[in-house]
Structure 1
């Protein structure tokens, strides 16, 4: 709790100060500078720990590690240091551009406007040294636009604004009272703050934490307590959902316990995800992230030279864009992800395309949990045929109706679908959790008791009056494979019967009281004496 409270306190201060610093710049635009420089500080300090712990650099008495590094990594020796650091960390920061060096230049008014560009250029050059990690660090700072005129009208003005960002990021000690590094938690809270101020754009990069917890708990139920656990998010946004899976998995924070896979179409958001995972201590060797269109080209693996080689995972989690457009040309029917389901998802509603992609990459013993709009439950035509095929394959395990206004990007109520491939029964669990939430000014939120109720009901898999129903396959067929939740969970509350005799008595009492008041008023009126205008 101390760790979380400290992270929240730091975030609140950072957020307030960042809002003053950004001036008229939009919060979603200024986000890239705050989060980018915070990540750079993290990488630099992470490198510093490596140099110290592995005794790559040994400072003399009274000498700082950074000064020792600057004095030793010079001339021809610099290349040796770059290769050594890159081999261990996947990246390398030269002595001239460490966070300490940049901060000292800023504080001593020695920074040049060109220093920031040279800093990032040097980082990109060094990111190519280790071929195994180059994709993880290449262009990770591409969204820190140093030439943005909204940052400042001149090069000098922009440099001054960046100096302010450096000073802001540097003034906080990102450790809790126990000395634990909490920069990753601060980063995560900041992402949520930026999401709250980004309107509909927030849906592109952030899933509210409480929703992520529900998805993650559903996806990790029954997972082994040891061994490597693989998780895949085909629309990963800023990576928060992947990290929540790690948090909810038993022993999830053991080194190497979780192998993360994710794909994201938006390059800026993809960069956020890379930063987010690394700042939470995920080694580049344990993450495989990609910037590409999930539906257009299958990944990871999939069909290679006409042979189907899909990589499958212990858990698939997703909060894809709802009812998005996609290219559903007829050639997609040959794609092994879609060809077994008779139809393709409609051009203007890619929801089932994401479902089938996730199913294709789910292993035989794993679970998939995905958030979608309610329309996937009852829309007909092609979607109806796909839905029927999924049910007949016995992949759909549960349908969970969620409250409205949980997301920044939409106020519509959503549904979580849970899938398994090794199901022993052919029933489907329906849960109506739409009425359990805490109302907020902008968004509603799930409370811990709401989340626990969903998970415990899913595990118990029993009928709960006005909340859950286990529907047989025959029931599903009788409803023509329509999964609309009210068909299975009756939440109707009957009004209390009206006692007509009692209502008549109440009316009689009111009539009697009215008659008495009228008599009293008439008596008072008769006692009134008219006053002449000239009376004194």
Structure 2
């Protein structure tokens, strides 16, 4: 898909979102829209792989058949079960199993005299006195629908099934197929939870649509993946009155939304990269249209690209170009995950070992997990943690033994600017801050920086976006900044123009830090001049040429008047370790040289023309009998 087509797809989806959300808050509608796009992605990939694996066995039929091919295949190979195994725990605590077989006349038979089998329907009743202690009601098990009721619950679920000690083992063909898909795709989706099935329900406004969605979301969270994706859809309230006051109106609203999405993207080639990019486009649009608060979770692509291109270059000698491999990459305030994905894009799919992210906002945390999967990152290739970075609750980062400390080859971050936080008396003993000091309560900027820097590998690079205040503020921040400079850890300071972010209009900077750096000076880049960005009505923009200039300057450590300068530590010390860029790079433009001789000649010519014009004018005045000009 071309960039133009991708932009068209993004605008189409945004148009759908903008027209359908009505009075609903943009943030609320975003969660529905992006979740449906995520379900579409999982389904398309799953069906495509299933078709390839099943080959000639994959059902093919015309448009008149509205069932999904996988549903037909499941019916042919699974629901028409010839053999099934029921496992349960009996009243003595022993594990028991029942083998049922379907004979030539499609009647069910059992090898266990303790149970009652309806030979025609396959409904089995295990008497309560044969079940696990504490069960007082018979367990009624339906083979055809794979449900269990009675001793478990009125509406059985997977959790209840496991809790009751009873499980239904599918037909062997289904088991092998799902094992294969789990190996290939790292997840499994049942036919009724595929987007194509749900979109068809939406098209006919099936009254069961809302129930199907609820079941699908729970299945994906709890069963689809080997990894734990609990709470992935926790912010999606399908019972919300924002969708409608009653079940029928909510079902109708969801039918409309899903049908519009299905129709809107039907004409586009929606491979994984395309849907992933469309997802990113929508996140950006929602961030732009939802006000400053919503923009905090999203780093605009130009800034994201600058950070990712910097950290992927060789740490000691950037002129050598991109590193071959980054084993671990961290973003400790990852938002929707766009920065991590940009690093992955720079390195290629095989150039990254694993992506690590942390996010405190539950909604954004879920967006990040979906975003990873939507871009083809397998669940084993990333780890996103929900928690407060400053409290350092993530067990993999809370290792106090230096020998066991997790370190990262590249760290990128765009943490909340000047966040108020609550350090306590013992915070100064925190291994992340020890030796540097504690950032003030009024601004956690250096707390975030020191958190990330603690986990940076000796040959790694860290790039972090911060407000300009970190460059010159005094007090505790001055002491931290001075220590970092004296230890030779601050490599580059990049000043950016104002109005680049959705969350703030202030100008920001990028600090590049290294544990071991080759040069003994600090490179300053002033990219905030009007010639170095594209002005906009609401947002300023860094174009590709502006980004390339920043990266080229960083990579070659080149100097240019009013743009970049390498500054020695002696000079920085003379300025009291103040890193305000204007102290080292003058933004004043040189006065234009005036050629006095040329200007004099121009004035003489103007005077001659004036005299000639006056003479002609006086001739006319004389003819009219009027007084002439002196």
Residue 28 (structure 1) aligns with: 27
Task: Report SS of the residue matched to 2:237.
Answer: coil
C-alpha deviations, 1:86-126, integer Å up to 9, x for none? Answer: 844454433332222222222233233xx424533454256
User: 1:487-520: CA deviations, max 9, x gaps?
Assistant: 1112321222557788788789888988998999
Distance 1:305 1:428, change over 3 A: closer
Q: Answer whether contact 1:400 1:416 (CA < 8 A) is retained.
A: yes
1:65 aligns with 2:70: yes
* Residue 230 (structure 2) aligns with: 138
Confirm or deny: 8 A CA contact 1:463 1:470 kept in the other structure.
Answer: yes
Report the alpha carbon displacement of residue 84 of structure 1 after superposing the two structures with TM.
Answer: 3.2
1:462 aligns with 2:558: yes
Tell me which residue corresponds to 2:340.
242
Secondary structure of residue in 2 paired with 1:23? coil
Structure exhibiting the larger radius of gyration computed from Cα positions: 2
Aligned residue number for residue 296 of structure 1: 391
> How far apart, CA to CA, are the structure 2 residues paired with 1:79 and 1:428?
66
Local SS of the residue matching 1:199: coil
Contact 1:377–1:483 under 8 Å retained in 2: yes
Specify which of 472, 486, 503 is matched with residue 568 of structure 2: 472
**Most deviating of 138-147 and 218-227:** 218-227
Q: Paired residue for 1:442?
A: 538
* Secondary structure of the structure 1 residue equivalent to 2:562: coil
Return 497-506 or 140-149, whichever deviates more.
Answer: 497-506
Whether the 8 Å CA contact 2:562–2:587 is kept in 1: the answer is yes
Q: Distance in 1 between matches of 2:428 and 2:225?
A: 36
Q: Structure 1 residues 516-525 or 432-441, which shifts more?
A: 516-525
1:426 aligns with 2:520: yes
Please report how far the alpha carbon of residue 181 of structure 1 lies from its aligned counterpart in structure 2 after TM superposition.
5.2
Q: Distance in 2 between matches of 1:310 and 1:130?
A: 32
Q: TM-score scaled by structure 1? A: 0.87
Q: Distance in 2 between matches of 1:414 and 1:283?
A: 34
- Alpha-carbon displacement from aligned partner over 1:288-326 (angstroms, at most 9, x marks no partner): 001111111253623347777431111100111111111
Equivalent residue number for residue 149 of structure 1:
241
Structure-1 separation of matches of 2:342 and 2:400: 36
Counterparts of 1:154-165 in structure 2, within 5 Å, are 154-165=246-257
Can you give the 5+ residue segments of structure 1 that lack an aligned partner in the other structure? 530-536
Deviates more, 1:450-459 or 1:146-155: 146-155
Aligned residue for 1:534?
none
CA distance, structure 1, for counterparts of residue 56 and residue 432 of structure 2: 51
Q: Is the 8 A contact 1:345 1:351 kept in 2?
A: yes
Asked if 1 retains the 8 angstrom alpha-carbon contact of 2:273 and 2:375, the reply is: no
1:312–1:404: structure 2 CA closer, same or farther, 3 Å change rule? same
Report the Cα distance in structure 1 between the residues aligned to 2:192 and 2:536, rounded to whole angstroms.
48
Correspondence list, 1:328-477, <5 A: 328-341=423-436, 343-435=437-529, 436-477=532-573
Task: Tell which deviates more after alignment, 14-23 or 513-522.
Answer: 513-522
Say which SS state the counterpart of residue 493 (structure 2) adopts. strand
Looking at structure 2, the residues matched to 162 and 22 of structure 1 have their Cα atoms a distance apart, in angstroms, of 11
Q: CA deviation at 1:14?
A: 1.8
Q: TM-score, length-normalised on structure 2?
A: 0.75
Task: Confirm or deny: 8 A CA contact 1:175 1:181 kept in the other structure.
Answer: no
1:266 maps onto 2:357 in alignment: no
Aligned to 1:233: 331
Contact 1:262 1:288 in 2 (8 A): yes
Conserved in 1, the CA contact under 8 Å of 2:9 and 2:268? no
- The 1-side partners of 2:170 and 2:48 are apart by 18
| Deviation larger for 190-199 or 231-240 | 190-199
Partner of 1:167: 259
SS in 2 for 1:51: helix
Find the residue that maps to 2:397 and give its secondary structure: strand
Aligned length, in residue pairs: 519
| Cα separation, 1, equivalents of 2:441 and 2:590 | 42
- Paired residue secondary structure (1:285): helix
CA RMSD between the two structures: 3.1
Q: Which moved more, 1:204-213 or 1:501-510?
A: 501-510
Please give the alpha-carbon distance, in whole angstroms, between the structure 2 residues aligned to 1:34 and 1:521: 76
8 Å CA contact 2:334–2:368 kept in 1: the answer is yes
Of the candidates 574, 585, 590, which is equivalent to residue 489 of structure 1? 585
Structure 1 distance, partners of 2:492, 2:260, is 47
**Contact 1:92/1:127, CA 8 A, preserved across alignment:** no
Contact 2:198 2:212 in 1 (8 A): no
Asked if the contact 1:220–1:248 (Cα under 8 Å) also holds between the matched residues in 2, the reply is yes
Q: Comparing 158-167 with 64-73, which one deviates more in the overlay?
A: 64-73
Distance 1:493 1:227 in 2: 43
Contact map agreement 1:7 1:186 (CA 8 A) in 2: yes
Contact 1:401 1:414 in 2 (8 A): yes
Structure 1 pair 498–164 and aligned structure 2 pair: CA distance change class (3 A): same
